[in-house]
Amino acid sequence: YNVVLLPGDGIGPEVMAQAKKVLMAVSEKFGIAFNLKEALVGGASIDEMGVPLADETLELCMKSDAVLFGAVGGPKWDHLPMELRPERAILGLRKELDLFANLRPAFLIPSLAAKSPLKGEILSKGVDILVVRELTGGLYFGEPKGIKVRDDKRIAYDTLVYTEDQIRRVAEIGFRVAQNRKKKLCLVDKANVLESSRLWREVVSEVTKEFPDVELSYMYVDNCAMQLVANPGMFDVILTENTFGDILSDEAAAIIGSIGLMPSASLGDKKPYLYEPVHGSAPDIAGRG
């Protein structure tokens, strides 16, 4: 297997060095040959090549079987305009590789329960959540998007847009992973305010017919943010759009107290897929091993 390693910035290179050891151990133990190639990404790439994601790096990824991503970003590059920031690298990879389904598990590791900010009586009901976040649509990529001046005043806008196909393909992944878990899927949206959420409800209630063994429920995003803290044991799979998924998956990682340990997979219709930790580049603790 051709695997591209993109360590990135901050603690990225440190976690990547350890991940590589794990890959080599897997390789030896199970006789799987990995052909590892490393490339710069994010701030490290900006410093060396002037852009967060070089064309050669993207091509290397496209020809691979899998991409292992560390983390990008840091105060050093915060002043840069949007298109040149380290974050563009991961957003660019998601978009170019069409990785539309981001799977972010948050499960309680019993030996680490003491690290959770939640009380034992809440954890005792068990926490095993999988957030399925749509990753290539919504506010992240919607057009128009920009800041302009009108009558001498600045006005800024972003567009939250989804097509039914974009919703259907990630919903199908959501239902499929739910089938292999507790068979419960909760669509999280803001259907009492957003038109895009209304379309999500329409399409998901169509897709649910293909998966009669999975129990579908609906929840507003504000309520979900509350229930994740008050009653996390109620969730199995959470399906949601890009921005809500960004917020809720971080919250879910926090409640189990192990954001530093949570993995994530970004899937598309075909390989390569991309794998990255849920944590970021954590510049404040970088360089300490």
Ligand X SMILES: CC(C)[C@H](C(=O)O)[C@@H](O)C(=O)O
Angle between helices 221-230 and 242-255 (to 10 degrees): 10
Specify the residue, 18 or 163, whose C-beta has the smaller distance to a copy of itself.
Answer: 163
Q: Report if residue 192 touches ligand X, rule: CB under 6 A.
A: yes
Cβ 140 to ligand X shortest distance, Å = 7
Residue 180, token pair as written in the block: 């292999």
Burial 211-239 (b: 16+ CB within 10 A, else e): beebebeebebeebbebbeeebeebbbbb
Binding region for a copy of itself (CB under 8 A) out of 36-44, 49-57, 156-164, 264-272: 156-164
Q: Dihedral, CA atoms, 185, 191, 196, 200, nearest 10 degrees?
A: 20
Sheet with strand 66-71: strands edge to edge? 35-38, 2-8, 66-71, 273-277, 263-267, 101-107, 128-134, 237-240, 184-189, 215-220
Q: Report if residue 94 touches a copy of itself, rule: CB under 8 A.
A: no
Q: Report if residue 251 touches a copy of itself, rule: CB under 8 A.
A: yes
Binding region for ligand X (CB under 6 A) out of 87-95, 108-116, 117-125, 159-167: 87-95
Determine the residue type at 17.
A
Q: Report if residue 84 touches a copy of itself, rule: CB under 8 A.
A: no
Q: Report if residue 222 touches ligand X, rule: CB under 6 A.
A: yes
Give burial (CB, 10 Å; 0-12/13-18/19+) of 21. exposed
Cβ 40 to ligand X shortest distance, Å = 17
Query: For residues 95 and 268, is the Cβ–Cβ distance under 8 A?
Result: no
Specify the residue, 106 or 123, whose C-beta has the smaller distance to ligand X.
Answer: 106
Of these, 32, 193, 226, 285, which contacts ligand X (CB under 6 A)? 193
Specify the residue, 107 or 141, whose C-beta has the smaller distance to ligand X.
Answer: 141
Q: How many CB atoms lie within 10 A of CB 70?
A: 26
Chosen from a copy of itself, ligand X, none, partner binding at 253 (C-beta under 5 to 8 Å by type): a copy of itself
- Looking from the CA of 206 toward its CB, the CA atoms found within 13 Å total 10
The active-site residue, picked from 250, 271, 273, 275, is: 250
The residue count for binding ligand X (CB under 6 A) is: 7
Angle between helices 164-179 and 195-207 (to 10 degrees): 50
Determine the residue type at 248.
L
Binding region for a copy of itself (CB under 8 A) out of 14-22, 33-41, 200-208, 269-277: 200-208
140 labelled catalytic:
yes
Binding region for a copy of itself (CB under 8 A) out of 58-66, 96-104, 176-184, 252-260: 252-260
Tell the residue number behind the tokens 């992944």, with chain if given.
173
Using CB under 8 A as the criterion, which residues of the chain lie in contact with a copy of itself when the complex forms? 73, 82, 85, 87, 91, 116-119, 122, 139-140, 142, 145-147, 153-165, 190, 192-196, 198-200, 202-203, 221-223, 225-230, 243-244, 246-251, 253-255, 257, 259
Using CB under 6 A as the criterion, which residues of the chain lie in contact with ligand X when the complex forms? 87, 90-91, 192-193, 222, 246
